[in-house]
Amino acid sequence: MSSKQPSVINIGLVGGETYCEELLGKTSLIGGVTQVTDQIVAVADSNPSSPGMALARQLGLITVSDYHDLYDPRYNIQLIIVLMPEPVILDDILQTRPPHIRILSYHIFEIFWKVIGVEERELRQRTKEMETILNGIQDFILVITPEMEIVDANDSFIDKMGFSRKEVIGRKCYEVYQKRYLPCEEADMACPLTQVIRNKRKYRQIRTRVDSAGNERHFEVNIYPIWEKDGKISRFIHISHDITEQRREEEEITRRLEQMVEERTRQLKETHEKLLHQDKMASLGKLSASVVHEINNPIAGILNMVMLMKRIIGEGPVRQKEIDQFSQFLGLMETETKRTGRIVSNLLAFSRQSPMELKRIDLNRLIDQTLVLNSNLLKIGGVKVEKTLDPHLPDFFGSEDQLKQVFMNLISNAAEVMEINGGGLLSIKTKHLVKDRKILICFKDTGSGVPEDNVSKLFEPFFTTKKEGKGVGLGLSVAYGIVQEHGGSIRVASKVGQGTTFFVNLPLEQPPEPHGEHGGTNG
């Protein structure tokens, strides 16, 4: 007798209710995609109108009202799955079945089916989440086979390139991108897919491509290979970033800068005689120190983010929670990078006494953003933060960038002071002073404090208690000027060995037109 098992097992189902309908629906769907080794050939149920019986007839399966008919040798059934919970049915089948027919009981099937259902739901949810993420990314993402056939594309590619999915999926990448019917030639530009295969690693390239309207666009292309176990490439992940507008903006910025230089040169020539009567070196020193200080703050925030992200990566595998956190950090880093560009413009505006850009601000949110930017600095310094933020704090009308500069100065100063003593507690409190129509913001540290003789000098330009090379003494002076420009006040209370508290009062009424020494200082 041969011990070889049949390659196909014919299955009969007993019971045509919900489980039967689900099982038939899923196995018929799978069968349309891959080769199924186990085959359901018949369903037995005394109720011909049950959903499972109805679906079985649609699929062309054998349907019988008496499950004993499944024993008929003509059906060649080797396995019966009992989908009815009644014990009497299972007992009867066990007693009457032919020896060659195996039985899977209702309860065993139910256990496996529920486990499969849980896994299926989780898989679908993860698939949906990944599709949402990929379609939400503004960069173009394609999945390409080693034969250069596009098998998937995200929504950004379809929408921005002006194609339909039918025009992309299943076509060669060079047909879509280059409007040609032969692979890219080395003389034109090295094919990035070929470079990945040749070098056996990811590849980056700047390419010019044609959209559906025939317009040339410039892209930064990154190709990432997906390897099979045998060392062959199964897919290419093609990620490209449209830099067309960036190039145009760079050209426009260059043109405008040239115009600004010409205009500024003309103005300098006209005022040359007046500048001879001023202390040029002193003015130049103050401007240089101010520029260094103003740009250092946003750069310090970016550095903190980079160090924090490196530390998280170094601590182990990055989970989804950290990826979401990285996305938040990158957004803040982008904001701070743009701020550095605005700092130069604001310094020029300061010299012309230009007004601040005012808008409604959620000060609690602004404090939280500033704490995130300084999170690594606080952690390194062993500084814990305790927040008591008034949930009913009204919006304040002012310059978001400049007020963030004030908060950055006060928080970073407190962190640096407490780091010297191995850490401490930074308490931040906001309160709506309804009667006075003001907002009070307090920053209290547990540092070493400031000697009484120095307290009155803290807001003077170039005065600093830090060691040489640690500061230029402009931070609190800048903060003082910004608060004044908003019609507010800032004061300090400090005792040696007990810490320092800064009190910032901001009026809820709209402040007057900016003026004075710090009118254009950016935050």
| pLDDT (tens digit per residue) in 476-499 | 777 888 888 889 999 999 888 889
User: What secondary structure letter does DSSP report for 139?
Assistant: S
pLDDT of residue 259: 87
User: What secondary structure letter does DSSP report for 4?
Assistant: P
pLDDT of residue 77: 93
CATH number of 137-242: 3.30.450.20
pLDDT of residue 232: 83
pLDDT of residue 367: 92
Checking 61-67 for CB contacts under 8 A at 24+ apart, the result is: 61/24, 67/12, 67/14, 67/93
Give the end-to-end CA distance of the chain in Å, rounded to a whole number.
88
pLDDT of residue 96: 94
Six-digit token pair at 360?
């409604």
Q: Do 9-115 and 280-507 have matching folds?
A: no
CATH fit for domain 9-115, picks 3.40.225.10, 1.10.10.10, 3.40.50.720, 3.40.50.2000:
3.40.50.720
Residue 398, CA distances (Å) to 294, 393, 523 in order: 19, 15, 12
**SS3 call for 17:** coil
Please choose, from the candidates 343, 334, 254, the residue with its C-alpha nearest in 3D space to the C-alpha of residue 297.
343
pLDDT of residue 454: 81
Residue 274, CA distances (Å) to 71, 80, 268, 445 in order: 111, 103, 10, 47
Supply φ then ψ for residue 209, to 5 degrees: -130, 170
Question: Residues of 339-357 as b/e, b for ≥16 C-beta within 10 angstroms?
Answer: bbeebeebbebbeeeeebe
| pLDDT (tens digit per residue) in 226-264 | 888 777 888 888 888 888 888 888 888 888 888 888 887
pTM of this prediction exceeds 0.75: no
What is the residue whose two structure tokens read 């963030």? Answer: 404
pLDDT of residue 200: 80
Q: What is the C-alpha to C-alpha distance for residues 436 and 256, in angstroms, rounded to an integer?
A: 47
pLDDT of residue 284: 38
State the chain's mean pLDDT as an integer: 79
pLDDT of residue 292: 62
Inter-residue contact 411 to 373 (CB < 8 Å) = no
| 14: alpha, beta or left? (left if phi > 0; alpha if psi -120 to 50) | beta
Centroid of chain to Cα 43: 50
Domain boundaries, the chain: 9-115, 137-242, 250-275, 280-507
Burial environment of residue 489 by CB neighbours within 10 A (0 to 12, 13 to 18, 19 or more): middle
Report which secondary-structure segment, H or E, holds 414: helix 400-420
Q: What is the C-alpha to C-alpha distance for residues 82 and 296, in angstroms, rounded to an integer?
A: 73
**SS3 call for 202:** coil
Written as one string, the DSSP assignment of 66-120 is SGGGGG-GGG---EEEE----HHHHHHHHHHS-TT-EEE-HHHHHHHHHHHHHHH
Q: What is the C-alpha to C-alpha distance for residues 435 and 151, in angstroms, rounded to an integer?
A: 66
Please state, as a whole number, how many other Cβ atoms lie within 10 Å of the Cβ of residue 228. Answer: 9
- Topology of domain 280-507 in CATH is Heat Shock Protein 90 (3.30.565)
448 residue type, one letter: S
Six-digit token pair at 497?
């060995």
**SS3 call for 518:** coil
E strands present in 154-281: 203-210, 216-227, 233-242
Which residues of the chain have a pLDDT value below 50?
1-6, 30-37, 187, 272-290, 346-354, 469, 514-523
The DSSP bridge partners found for residue 207 are 219
pLDDT of residue 176: 78
